[in-house]
Amino acid sequence: MPLFIMSDLSAEEVIKKRAELRDKLTIQDVITYFKTRPSYLEPDSIDEAIVQYFRLWGEAKSIFEFGCGCGRTLNLLKQKYPGIDAFGIDSNEGPINEGIHSFKLNLKCADHTYLDEMRANTYDFVLTLSVLDHIPPNKLKYIVNRLYSISKQIFLAVEIMESTNAYTWIHDYESLGFRRVRMALKKGKIPYGFYVLQKPQSMIISEVEPR
């Protein structure tokens, strides 16, 4: 049971109330809040939706994005929260170089194998944005497990819900333990699902990368 009814509170009041109670927000609290107060979460873009979601987790001081491109979302988060520790990797060198030089971000050109070099419980918030839909089903559990391991608090996967080409997969994230948070934009429909894993939480684990 939630310790307070989020639907009766503004975003600022939610953060203040959590601090007073010294209790962490639960996934069910967030889902209840977004279902009952859709007028609050009506950002203009997917990036802004992610920023607003990040904001609700007041303890989050660091973020890692897997498949960050040039770091557009990380840059927006750094603008909103200058003190956060933000790091991202992407396998495409061009966008990474652009993000390093244009946004002055801490980025690295690397593929999923680099995840094995990263320590567990390193970043409060781990993010993917339309990345897991490019991971074949036989490797999904392994990569999700690595990303979940790296997170201290939250793993947010923002992934497509409808495949438009032969290079993307629609995965059943809820079968891996994710909870879906429904979101809405001010204009138009979000073509992505917001899927969340919160620690501590059980999930189906694949420790060894399939070949």
Instruction: Return the percentage of the chain with pLDDT > 70, whole number.
Output: 65
Residue 166: predicted pLDDT: 65
* Long-range CB contacts for residues 78-85, cutoff 8 Å, separation at least 24: 78/103, 78/105, 80/51, 80/55, 81/54, 84/60, 85/61, 85/123
- The model's pLDDT over 2-43, given as tens digits with 9 standing for 90+, comes to 333 434 445 556 556 555 544 555 555 554 544 444 333 444
- The model's pLDDT over 83-129, given as tens digits with 9 standing for 90+, comes to 999 999 999 999 999 999 999 999 999 999 999 999 999 999 999 99
- The model's pLDDT over 141-155, given as tens digits with 9 standing for 90+, comes to 999 999 999 999 899
Residue 50: predicted pLDDT: 85
Could you write out the DSSP letters of every residue in 94-153? HHHHHHHHHT--EEEE--GGGGGGSPTT-EEEEEEES-GGGS-HHHHHHHHHHHHHHEEE
Rounded to whole angstroms, how far apart are CA atoms 98 and 6?
40
Structure-block tokens of residue 14: 């939610």
Mean pLDDT of the chain: 77
Segment 197-210 shows an average pLDDT of 55
Residue 194: predicted pLDDT: 85
**Of residues 129, 81, 88, the one with CA closest to residue 107:** 88
Structure-block tokens of residue 155: 């793993």
